[in-house]
Amino acid sequence: MRFRKPTVEPLEINLTPMIDCLLFLIVFLLLATSFNKFSRLNIILPEAAGVSVNTDSNKIEVAIQEDGSYMVNGVALVSQNETELVSLINKETQGDRERLFVIAADANASHQSVVKVMDIAGKLGFLNLNISTVMPAQQASAN
């Protein structure tokens, strides 16, 4: 008697159902997830045209010059040290964090200098932060 050798069928794993399930899970997670934007800053920037000049004497004004030197309410800092800037701001405000904090930066001042002052104002807890601007020359001469 002759026996035939059993034929062995090659083993195949069908991945299609598994891929379908994974795609459904990914779509479900994307639809069910809410993305929070905690890193965004809610800053309302003033418009330069038509802004009235605020002559409030109860404000702290930090001027940033083109070379990166600072002035706090007209008092120039000896060095560009951050600790000296913080101590002079504390001296001028005497702990009053409700005052208007105005940053008046030269147009050619570095962005890093402005960000440093904004960071210091945030660390000290100032709530009213404004950036000083001027009216464009064309609109100023028309008024």
Residue 7 located in a structural domain? no
pLDDT of residue 26: 94
Residue 43 located in a structural domain? no
Contact between residue 118 and residue 72 where contact means Cβ atoms under 8 Å apart = no
Cα–Cα distance between 45 and 129 in angstroms, integer? 10
Residue 106 located in a structural domain? yes
Residue 79 located in a structural domain? yes
Handedness of CA 116, 118, 122, 124 (dihedral sign): positive
| CB burial of residue 7 (10 Å; 0-12, 13-18, 19+) | exposed
Q: Give the structural domain span for 71.
A: 59-134
User: Helix, strand, or coil here: 64?
Assistant: strand
Task: Give yes or no for residue 139 having a pLDDT over 50.
Answer: no
In this structure, are strands 100-105 and 59-64 parallel, antiparallel, or unpaired?
Answer: parallel
CATH label of the domain that carries residue 127: 3.30.420.270
Q: pLDDT tens, 23-56? A: 999 999 888 887 665 544 444 444 456 555 555 5
